[in-house]
Amino acid sequence: MPQFETTYFLSQIFWLLISFGSLYFGVCWFIFPLYDKIFQARDLLIKKPLEEAEVLLKETEALQLEIEQKKQDFASRNEQCLNQVYQETRDYFDAAMLKTEKILNKTLQKNTHKLELAEKRLLKQKENFVSDVLKEAE
């Protein structure tokens, strides 16, 4: 077998080093930079949408916080308005009740006075009737 003859070892080692060296330098100087460019381009294609997604996520979170803040502000303003309307309605109702109570008291006083006058008149009529009946009976 010629590949195991010692006379050819030196030339085989030489060509092995030349072949492997040229292959190694070809891969290091041409293939790896090409792959490196491809991987960098791929990373840029991947990183750009990821960065945009992160920015959009941060904006979304900020908008959610703003929405929650506005909801709380709206709820507090709504509560204040409801309290104000309740208080105004309560004040109006109290004023109307006082006015109605005054009117009813005046009406009650008038009617009580009329009843007292009517009672006095009836008592006088009764006395007159009784005295008339007693006079006729005598």
- Hey, what amino acid is at 67? I
Give the Cα separation of 133 and 124 in Å (integer): 14
Going by pLDDT thresholds of 50, 70 and 90, the confidence category of residue 7 is confident
pLDDT at 66: 96
Q: Which of 117, 95, 115, 119 is nearest to 107 (CA)?
A: 115
pLDDT number for residue 131: 87
pLDDT top residue among 4 and 111: 111
